[in-house]
Amino acid sequence: MSATTTTPTARIFSSDNVAGGSPEIVEAMAAVATGPALPYGTDDTTAAVERRLSEIFERDVDVLLVSTGTAANALSLAALTPPWGSVLCHRDSHVNNDECGAPEFYTAGAKLVPLGGDDARIDPEQLRTAARHKAGDVHSVEPSVVSVTQATETGAVYTLDEIRTLGSIAEEAGLRLHMDGARFAGAVVALGCTPAELTWRAGVDLLSFGATKNGTMTADAIVVFDRSLTSELAFRAKRAGQLTSKMRFQAAQLDAYLRDDLWLRNAAHANAMAARLQAGLKAVPGVELLGAADANILFCRLPQQITEGLLAENYAFYHDRWEPGVVRFVTSFATTERDVDHLVRAVVRHAA
């Protein structure tokens, strides 16, 4: 079940997409709304975003601003995969389950090969096998790229060693490495590492740098570490309708998002609210916490009377989507301690 317009915002735990924009980002958009600016990403603000991301990732990077994470993922994979190639990803990944076939469409037919692993993290041995399976066999798709989701769809994060291991396997097999970072900031905060350590230093070629779930409104980005891919990505972005004429509005959002570490502060708050919720639910009889909750997503198993009671109080969250009794709660930069505490008290009430 997803939120409806009649549900109070404080009771929506279905997705971090329900949050609005950070005030700093709204102000930044208003600031660039007057006066002229060069179009199609040639403006000063877009250039400033690229410089800032180069600083954050400790190397020169190229940046393509896009309007959605789906565009970032699909265009990235298209640049890394021939039509006869395959994308090795986790079976629970967003690219496999929630992109409406966009990766297949933009790659002109590449095949997604789903793999297993706990907490939506790719199992290294399964990847090692899949990376070599029928490689060079003209009768099969060619293993071409590994796509990892950081943080994962269950709220877990890959450790640095896990990313390095997958990157090493990909490199040994001659595969490229893409990271779907829709919740990248949350992973950086959870691990306490640098963005560079989590990406190119571990072998990542392209990063889908998510920001919409964490404070922006219509702005995500592709961060290009292998800059030999930039020209092709630029043509693909234009062809896909992602080269915005008034790019300054997307750039202004990301400029404010990155300034004074707002992106990390927002993610730290969202993670902390999930941890607070986890601590509160842990003490409730009948509630079973499921898997890791390293970032801002929490899965648990609730008795039916609790689920029905919460729904009757207009709480919004996904339930019974994965299996009966399993629910997902998601916190955001806009979630307050009061919101979390009210939810916990409601669960306690209906557990009784």
Computed over every residue of the chain, the mean pLDDT equals 95
pTM: 0.95
Cis peptide before 71 (omega within 30 of 0): no
pLDDT for res 1: 45
Q: Which residues contact 207 (CB under 8 A, 6 or more apart)?
A: 178, 179, 181, 184, 199, 222, 223, 225
Distance CA 89, CA 146 (A): 6
> Is residue 2's pLDDT more than 50?
no
What is the number of alpha carbons within 13 Å of residue 156 lying toward its C-beta?
A: 19
Region 43-49: what's the mean pLDDT? 97
Which structure tokens are listed for 78? 């298209």
Structure token digits, residue 328: 């997902």
Question: Is 222 within 8 Å of 207 (Cβ atoms)?
Answer: yes
Is the Cα torsion angle 73, 75, 79, 85 positive or negative in sign? positive
- Is the pLDDT at 305 greater than 50? The verdict is yes
What would the pLDDT profile of 3-23 be if each residue is shown by its tens digit? 444 566 779 999 999 999 999
The residue to which tokens 């940046």 are assigned = 63
Task: Give the pLDDT mean for 39-44.
Answer: 96
**According to the model, what pLDDT value does residue 3 have?**
44
AA letter at 269 = H
Mean pLDDT of 314-325: 92
Cα dihedral 344→10→71→133 (10° resolution): 10
The pairing of beta strand 85-90 with beta strand 111-115: parallel
Please name the amino acid found at residue 344.
V
pLDDT digits (tens, 9 = 90+) for 77-129: 999 999 999 999 999 999 999 999 999 999 999 999 999 999 999 999 999 99
pLDDT at 315: 96
Average pLDDT over residues 22-28: 97
Give residue 71's pLDDT.
Answer: 98
